[in-house]
């Protein structure tokens, strides 16, 4: 890329080089007649094995590649928990365990029925197919037809983990049969090896490596890494509504503020925490809150920063009686669904880890072991909802993230059941040669009250904050974004990332966030 002089102007400016932003920028720049600038506050991941080697993903938590957001004190949750948000090109697709799911049909159809017109499964599934190359799908009559020539490689994790093999047999023994994933049929009760967006050599097929790396030579695509957005630029002088004209950035040395302008549109893809933060710093958000922190109100948008949803995660951990694997694709290779009766989607999911995961346990003195495995129950349809708010009007200051974990009784009940189901699986005959001492929560936690006290103090998250700038019907004041991802009340701005989900999907949302980026680029290119 030739040296860039500021102020700089492009047809499209994408603020946030994460999971959706990379997809948006790559698809828009397929048109050689337009210029696109992709802005990422973190470094590039090109040639960086710390990022690209998927097996090393847990090293990234609380590292220099992590914004590492604390949360506000929780009345019924773990106040010490931290939200990992990626500070690197590719966003959380460069930072996560790469578990790859299409959203269940029921989730997407609920989005459409709730006011996000055009986002039903029938309308979204073609964009999943467009983004992926699925290497080893299961052929079933119900399958929606997997993609074969998209940029993102999706494949099934291998079975080179004997404890994992025994775990799947144990699941069968307690009524959770081995069931293929990503077939177009929602798995209500069942287990299997995960599919991951990773190449056969073990490297990530992240949004950056799939969409951006092959296209860095495009003369119409400029990728700025290390530039952090301070605010969106707003023109309030033109007749009609305010117009977003680009962004003011801080240079990598933080010494200078520079402007990047968009002739056509600006796309905000900064994620469910930094997205609403940047909107509020730009004067778009709940008016009373903006005035409290000294930000001039441009648009009173009460839904910005509301509706924060996540998948809270518990942990049941055992010492292993046999040596656990010393190599793995990404150490979290099996998923288990154990939904309650009477639901269309499962309300309980587990990730199986072939390594200890004591991130939130050591402060309370729980024993650990280097040779351990765990099951992490998570509430897939949590009803507790929180907020993202500004702490100050300074762009460098971390926002206030308040998930309000377990403020809804439903989430407590599902998580308690999750611990009991995990113990039931561990007690099955197939795991007799593997399960040693239960390290956490341990034998002392037996009643519902004891189990929830353990969860309340030690729970984690599956790192899926979403829904804070949700899309919805034009007359829904709490939905800041239209169904074509345009921010209401201004011109020239769309939002494309996990924040626009009306409700968090049941499964890991990374591939759905890429799909949102694909759809955003499609809306723009079709002029809708």
What global pTM score does this model have? 0.97
220 pLDDT more than 60: yes
> What is the percent of the chain with per-residue pLDDT over 70, rounded to a whole number?
98
Region 424-429: mean pLDDT is 98
Q: Does the annotation count 464 as an active-site position?
A: yes
What distance in Å separates the CA atoms of residue 445 and residue 447, rounded to the nearest whole number? Answer: 6
- pLDDT for 138 equals 58
- By the 8 A CB rule, do 350 and 473 touch? no
Domain with CATH 3.30.410.40 in the chain: 51-84+145-205+309-461
Region 178-185: mean pLDDT is 93
- pLDDT for 143 equals 56
Of 239, 266, 195, 65, residue with least CA distance to 510: 195
Region 337-354: mean pLDDT is 95
For 51-84+145-205+309-461, the fitting CATH number among 3.30.410.40, 3.40.50.720, 3.30.70.2190, 3.30.2350.10 is 3.30.410.40
- pLDDT for 23 equals 98
- pLDDT for 158 equals 79
- pLDDT for 141 equals 42
Region 89-113: mean pLDDT is 98
136 pLDDT more than 80: no
What would the CATH number be for the domain defined by 8-49+207-308+467-526? 3.50.50.60
Length of the chain as a residue count: 528
Query: pLDDT class for 184, splitting at 50, 70, 90?
Result: confident
Helix (H) or strand (E) holding 15: strand 8-15
Which one of the listed residues 95, 311, 351, 464 is annotated catalytic? 464
Region 434-458: mean pLDDT is 97
- pLDDT for 271 equals 98
Three-state SS string across 283-330, please? CEECHHHHHHCCCCCCEECCCCCCCEECCEECCEEEEECCCCCCCCCC
Query: Which residue matches tokens 């409290």?
Result: 292
Q: Residue 424, class by beta-carbon neighbours within 10 Å (0-12 exposed, 13-18 middle, 19+ buried)?
A: middle
- pLDDT for 14 equals 98
Region 116-142: mean pLDDT is 86
- By the 8 A CB rule, do 244 and 490 touch? yes
Region 165-189: mean pLDDT is 96
- By the 8 A CB rule, do 164 and 350 touch? no
Of 38, 154, 128, residue with least CA distance to 91: 38
Cα–chain-centroid distance for residue 16?
A: 14
Domain with CATH 3.50.50.60 in the chain: 8-49+207-308+467-526
> What is the percent of the chain with per-residue pLDDT over 90, rounded to a whole number?
94
Cα dihedral 377, 380, 384, 385, rounded to 10, equals: 130
- By the 8 A CB rule, do 270 and 16 touch? yes
């Amino acid at each position: 890329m030739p040296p860039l002089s500021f102020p700089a102007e492009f047809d499209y400016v994408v603020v946030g080089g994460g999971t959706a932003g990379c997809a948006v920028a790559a698809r828009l720049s397929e048109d050689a007649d337009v210029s696109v600038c992709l802005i990422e506050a973190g470094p590039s991941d090109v040639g960086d094995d710390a990022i690209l080697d998927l097996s090393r993903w847990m090293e990234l938590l609380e590292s220099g590649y992590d914004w590492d957001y604390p949360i506000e004190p929780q009345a019924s949750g773990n106040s010490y928990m931290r939200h990992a948000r990626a500070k690197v090109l590719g966003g959380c697709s460069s930072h996560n365990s790469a578990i790859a799911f299409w959203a269940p049909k029921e989730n997407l159809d609920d989005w459409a029925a709730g006011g996000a017109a055009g986002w039903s499964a029938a309308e979204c599934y073609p964009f999943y197919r467009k983004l992926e190359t699925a290497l080893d799908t299961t052929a079933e009559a119900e399958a929606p037809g997997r993609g074969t020539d998209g940029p993102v490689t999706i494949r099934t994790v291998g079975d080179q983990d004997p404890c994992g093999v025994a775990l799947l047999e144990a699941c069968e023994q307690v009524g959770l049969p081995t069931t293929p994933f990503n077939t177009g049929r929602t798995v209500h009760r069942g287990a299997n090896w995960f599919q991951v967006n990773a190449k056969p050599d073990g490297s990530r097929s992240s949004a950056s490596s799939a969409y951006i790396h092959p296209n860095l030579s495009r003369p119409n695509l400029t990728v700025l890494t290390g530039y952090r957005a301070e605010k969106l630029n707003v023109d309030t002088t033109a007749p009609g509504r305010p117009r977003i004209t680009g962004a003011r950035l801080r240079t990598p040395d933080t010494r200078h503020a520079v402007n990047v302008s968009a002739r056509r549109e600006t796309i905000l893809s900064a994620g469910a925490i930094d997205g609403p933060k940047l909107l509020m710093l730009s004067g778009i958000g709940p008016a009373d809150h903006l005035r409290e922190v000294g930000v001039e109100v441009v648009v009173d948008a009460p839904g910005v920063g509301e509706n924060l949803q996540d998948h809270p995660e518990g942990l049941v951990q055992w010492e292993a009686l046999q040596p656990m694997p010393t190599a793995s694709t990404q150490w979290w290779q099996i998923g288990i669904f154990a939904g309650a009766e009477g639901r269309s989607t499962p309300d309980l999911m587990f990730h199986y880890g072939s390594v200890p995961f004591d991130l939130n346990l050591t402060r309370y003195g729980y024993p650990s072991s280097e040779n351990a495995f765990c099951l992490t129950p998570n509430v897939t349809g949590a009803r507790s909802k929180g907020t993202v708010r500004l702490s100050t009007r300074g762009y460098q200051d971390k926002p206030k993230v308040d998930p309000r974990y377990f403020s809804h009784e439903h989430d407590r009940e599902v998580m308690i059941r999750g611990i009991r189901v995990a113990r039931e699986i561990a007690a099955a005959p197939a795991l007799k040669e593997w399960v040693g001492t239960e390290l956490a929560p341990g034998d002392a936690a037996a009643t519902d009250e004891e189990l929830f006290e353990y969860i309340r103090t030690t729970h984690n998250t599956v790192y899926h904050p979403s829904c804070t700038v949700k899309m919805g019907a034009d007359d829904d004041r709490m939905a800041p974004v239209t169904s074509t991802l345009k921010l209401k009340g201004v011109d020239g701005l769309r939002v494309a990332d996990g924040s626009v989900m009306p409700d968090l999907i049941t499964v890991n949302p990374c591939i759905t966030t890429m799909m949102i980026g694909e759809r955003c680029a499609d809306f723009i290119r079709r002029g809708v």
